[in-house]
Amino acid sequence: MTPADDVGFELPPRSVFEPPSYPNIWFYVEERLADGQPAAVALVTGWLREEAGLVEDFGRFKAPEAADGQARLAQLQPWQGAPDPALDHAHDLHIRYYHVALRQRHADRAWISERDGDRRLYYRFAASVHYEVEDEHPRHPSVDECPWCGRTGEYAGASDLFAGVHEPLGLELLLYGTVRGHAVSRADGRPATGLVALRAPYRVEVHELRPTRPDMNVAAIAVVTLAPPFGGAP
Ligand SMILES: [Zn+2]
Ligand SMILES: [Zn+2]
Ligand SMILES: [Zn+2]
């Protein structure tokens, strides 16, 4: 995995917008697809809503934790094998979006060098994604014993359940449609397609980065770039 400081994305410090943890996924939208950061946000969140099913359907007020928007894909991987049936639960893929503070600090754009040497302007915003016990469950957000979202299997030794398990699993599911390598289905039976395989009228690239700075208090970071298809704007 590439160290986060070795590439040209110039990820801003966490102090710009003070989320509890450093955003683990960043979206960069090339200027030919969006004429500013608000358009970039609308494009990406609309794409994830339509194609990945990430919708704002929480049944109760949910603290935004300094975010500007949030969404989820609910009722995933129902676990029914708990020793205490009260622990049985389904899961949410939960994402929070951060864009306003980046825009106010003029940290909402970056120039990136393409492989052909051209430099292009991208509008960017951040998001934080995690996988957890469904929001409606009394034990939300965590059941340590769960074989999917718990401190189990290869994640048994995680010191922090959120940063060491829920966040990396959320990133795996959003990017690849799997949790611990197992394909996940939506509540209606359709596959939970990962971002790398979603239908898109633009060129989508995913860069997985290894956090390098002390303010990056997450296990993994992804940068997703959206650009016009080769051969010009759509
Ligand atoms: Zn959550
Ligand atoms: Zn929660
Ligand atoms: Zn679970």
| Peptide linkage before 141 cis (omega within 30 of 0) | yes
Q: Is residue 113 part of a domain?
A: yes
Tally of structural domains, the chain = 1
Q: Is residue 71 part of a domain?
A: yes
Provide φ and ψ at 93, rounded to 5°: -95, 115
Report the chain's mean pLDDT, rounded to a whole number: 93
Tens of pLDDT along 153-182?
Answer: 999 999 999 999 999 999 999 999 999 999
Distance between CA atoms of 91 and 111, rounded to whole angstroms?
38
Q: Is residue 15 part of a domain?
A: no
Q: How many residues does the chain have?
A: 234
What is the reported pLDDT for 216? Answer: 95
What is the reported pLDDT for 25? Answer: 98
Residue 144 CA to ligand 3 centre (angstroms): 8
Residue 122 CA to ligand 3 centre (angstroms): 37
Residue 41 CA to ligand 3 centre (angstroms): 30
Q: Is residue 85 part of a domain?
A: yes
Q: Is the pLDDT of residue 232 over 60?
A: no
Residue 26 CA to ligand 3 centre (angstroms): 26
Q: Is residue 12 part of a domain?
A: no
Q: Is residue 234 part of a domain?
A: no
Q: Of the bound ligands, which one is closest to the alpha carbon of residue 144? A: 3
Segments forming the whole domain that contains residue 153: 21-214
Tens of pLDDT along 122-138?
Answer: 999 999 999 999 999 99
Report ipTM (2 d.p.). Answer: 0.79
Q: Is residue 229 part of a domain?
A: no
Q: Of the bound ligands, which one is closest to the alpha carbon of residue 140? A: 2
Residue 171 CA to ligand 3 centre (angstroms): 15
Residue 126 CA to ligand 3 centre (angstroms): 26
What DSSP element (H or E) covers 168?
helix 167-176
What DSSP element (H or E) covers 101?
helix 100-104
Q: Is residue 58 part of a domain?
A: yes
User: Whole-angstrom distance between the N-terminal and C-terminal Cα of the chain?
Assistant: 31
Q: Is the pLDDT of residue 115 over 80?
A: no
Q: Is the pLDDT of residue 63 over 90?
A: no
Contacts for 174 with CB less than 8 Å, ≥ 6 apart: 25, 52, 93, 95, 129, 194, 195
Q: Of the bound ligands, which one is closest to the alpha carbon of residue 96? A: 1
Residue 119 CA to ligand 2 centre (angstroms): 39
